[in-house]
Amino acid sequence: MTLLGAHRTARTPLDRAPVAAKLGGLAVLGVAVVATRGVPAALGLLAVPVLAAVLAGLPPRATLRGLLPVLATAVLAGAYQAWARGWGPAVAVVADLLTLVLAAAVVTATTPADRLLDTLTAAARPLRRVGLPPELVALAVALVLRTVPEIARTVHEVRDAARARGAERDPRVWLTPAVLRVVGRARDLGDALAARGVVD
């Protein structure tokens, strides 16, 4: 459940690659996902992060387990697309979503957080001209990388509790407390940042 933001120590070519190159590759892949159409193109782009995950030595079982929430969302989106537009667009939507999430997971798994934030801060320096501190941009990215697995863990814990009571099939039983816990943590985080003068 902690696929994103979970760096592990390894010595693969991707771990040794420059952070800027990995972020640039992620950006190019994202543009390609948006710009291309059709099932062959979508599956071809999905092969890129799959090969990168193999090259990076990501454990297959843990990676698949971390992708389960994303896969569930992709299946729901694909089902709607299949109903509205047909199976071709449905397969493309599922493949595109998995491509982006898996590529981001490969980058975070092969890049220490401090190096990632330093690179993002340097890349965001031009934004200072429009009044946006680059350090704040890097902090926002760090919070996203930390928050995504926390949200997934919260949902997992609440669903386990609902399953223990035999009420997992009713989404209202676990979705409402999960949302309340996530919102509560977000408010606590916002209060902590405000207390330190990071945000207003």
User: Tens-of-pLDDT digits for all 200 residues of the chain?
Assistant: 345 545 566 678 888 888 889 888 988 998 999 898 889 999 999 999 999 988 888 888 877 777 777 777 778 888 888 888 888 888 998 899 889 888 888 888 888 877 888 888 888 888 888 877 887 777 777 676 666 666 666 777 777 777 777 766 666 666 777 777 877 877 777 777 677 666 55
Output the pLDDT for position 171.
65
Stated pTM of the model: 0.69
Output the pLDDT for position 28.
93
Long-range residue pairs from 25-28, CB within 8 A, at least 24 positions apart, any chain: 25/103, 26/103, 26/104, 26/107
Burial of 160 (0-12, 13-18, 19+ CB in 10 A): exposed
Output the pLDDT for position 1.
39
Output the pLDDT for position 146.
64
SS (H, E, C) 53-79: HHHHCCCHHHHHHHHHHHHHHHHHHHH
Backbone angles phi, psi at 38, to 5 degrees: 105, 155
Tokens representing 179? 């949302």
Output the pLDDT for position 45.
94
Output the pLDDT for position 41.
92
**Which residue bears the tokens 């940042």?**
193
Tokens representing 95? 């493949």
